[in-house]
Amino acid sequence: MNLAARMLVTGGVVAGALVLAACGTRCPSPPVDPQLRGAESRIGDGSLLGMGPDALLATLGPAAEEKSFIGWDQGYYLGPDSACVDGRWLVVRFDAEGKVGAVGLYHD
């Protein structure tokens, strides 16, 4: 669903106009940890798979503690999506040995 349709469904035309006026044409992006720049490419290349918690911490820094993800063990905030509507998260699931068994991209 595009941004205009999403605004109509969730908040109506007036709310949509206020959001666009506040955001302008670009979404204001909060500061993202420099360790996470380019982290999205690690989802596809498999470089995080098999890492233990200490190696993951050294590579990506600390995970977000204030948010939980159904089916995932931890997440790292990557920034807003291009429509300024959802956040993008790199999410990690550990296997039975405590190593990274799966990595994905999550939108909230």
**In this predicted model, what pLDDT tens digit does every residue of 4-46 receive, in sequence order?**
444 444 444 444 444 455 555 566 665 567 777 778 788 889 9
**Averaged pLDDT, 60-89:** 87
Segment 46-56 mean pLDDT: 95
Domain ranges of the chain: 1-30, 32-107
Arithmetic mean of pLDDT, 59-72? 90
∠ CA(51), CA(46), CA(84), 5° rounding?
Answer: 105
Residue 30 burial (10 A CB sphere; 0-12, 13-18, 19+): exposed
Among candidate residues 102, 48, 97, 46, the one with its CA nearest the CA of residue 71: 102
Query: pTM to 2 decimals?
Result: 0.68
Strand partners for 89: 77, 106
Q: What is the pLDDT of residue 13?
A: 46
Q: Is residue 70 over pLDDT 60?
A: yes
